[in-house]
């Protein structure tokens, strides 16, 4: 039979082993965050048969990888301050688009820059004209100041 001290040490060792095992199976933050309550931007009366919340499939990041560029731009510019805007921005960045905070537009290199410094690069860029034509255009000899480059997007 074990002494009380030995039983205590065995109990401590067992608890430490349980803690170490449980540490390996910590939940992902998305698994334990409180479900969000949907708040429509422009509330209005709709028939009960009309969906009351956007479908949850649009919270799936993998879905945004399948969207065409125009759809990503729509999500970014027309669903502001939503998780969908964040997912669209993330996917645009993955496709080498960069957001210019002063111009409020997405840019992508059309060719290698003609001039590159620590503060900016100059060259020909494709950009998305969301204000006037909802299409991509080319901007030649554009100076992209890195201080206007958006590095993070927060939903």
Distance CA 31, CA 80 (A): 25
Q: What are the tens digits of pLDDT across the range 59-88?
A: 899 999 999 999 999 999 988 888 899 999
Q: Distance (Å, rounded) from C-alpha 103 to C-alpha 106? A: 8
Q: What is the pLDDT of residues 40-67, one digit of tens each?
A: 777 888 898 888 777 888 889 999 999 9
Burial of residue 17 (number of CB atoms within 10 Å: 0-12, 13-18, 19+): exposed
Tokens 């349980």 found at: 18
pTM above 0.85, yes or no: no
């Amino acid at each position: 039979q074990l002494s009380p001290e030995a039983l205590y040490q065995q109990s401590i060792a067992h608890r430490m082993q349980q803690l170490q095992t449980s540490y390996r199976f910590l939940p992902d933050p998305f698994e334990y965050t409180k479900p969000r309550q949907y708040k429509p931007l422009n509330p209005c009366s709709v028939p009960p048969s009309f969906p009351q919340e956007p479908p949850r499939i649009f919270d799936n990041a993998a879905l945004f990888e399948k969207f065409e560029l125009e759809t990503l731009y729509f999500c970014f510019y027309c669903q502001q301050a939503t998780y969908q805007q964040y997912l669209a921005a993330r996917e645009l960045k993955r496709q080498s688009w960069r957001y210019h905070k002063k111009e409020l537009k997405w840019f992508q290199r059309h060719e290698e820059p003609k001039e590159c410094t620590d503060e900016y690069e100059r060259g020909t860029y494709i950009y998305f004209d969301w204000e006037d034509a909802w299409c991509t255009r080319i901007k030649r000899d554009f100076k992209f100041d890195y201080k206007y480059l958006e590095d993070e997007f927060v939903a």
